[in-house]
Amino acid sequence: MTNEELWQTALNELELAVSKANFMTWFQNTSVADHQDGSVVLNVPNAFAKEWLEHKYHKFILKALRNLAPDVRNVEYAISSELTPLLQKRKRERSILPQEGQLEFKELLVDRETNLNSRYTFDSFIVGPFNELAHAASIAVSKNLGQAYNPLFLYGGVGLGKTHLLQAVGNEIKKSSPRFKVLYTTSERFTSDLVNFMQSNEAPVFKEKYRSYDLLIIDDIQFIAGKIKTQEELFHIFNYLYEAGKQIIFSSDKPPHAINDLEERLKSRFEGGMVADIGQPEYESRLAILKSKSQGKDNYLNQEILEYIASNVQKNVRELEGALNAVVAKSKLSGRALSIPEVKEILDKNTQPKKIVTANHIIKCVAEFYDVNERTLFEKTRKKEIVKPRQVAMYLLREDYSGSYPYIGQRFGGRDHTTAIHAFDKISKELKKNAQLVEEMKRIRELYEYNSSV
- C-beta separation of 183 from 114 below 8 A: yes
Return phi, psi of residue 118, to 5°: -65, -15
> Is 113 strand, coil or helix?
coil
| Amino acid in the structure at residue 123 | D
- C-beta separation of 207 from 237 below 8 A: yes
Q: Any binding-site annotation on 162? A: yes
Cα Rg of the chain, angstroms: 24
CB atoms within 10 A of CB 267: 15
| Amino acid in the structure at residue 225 | A
- C-beta separation of 139 from 122 below 8 A: yes
Which strands sit side by side in the sheet containing 74-79, from one edge to the other?
31-36, 39-44, 74-79
What burial letters (b/e) apply to 131-149, b meaning 16+ CB within 10 Å? bebbbebbbebbeebbebb
| Amino acid in the structure at residue 354 | K
Q: Any binding-site annotation on 161? A: yes
Q: Any binding-site annotation on 296? A: no
Q: Any binding-site annotation on 146? A: no
SS (H, E, C) 355-415: CCCCHHHHHHHHHHHHCCCHHHHHCCCCCHHHHHHHHHHHHHHHHCCCCCHHHHHHHCCCC
Give burial (CB, 10 Å; 0-12/13-18/19+) of 228: exposed
Q: Annotated binding site: which residue ranges? A: 159, 161-163
What residue numbers does the annotated binding site for ATP cover? Answer: 159, 161-163
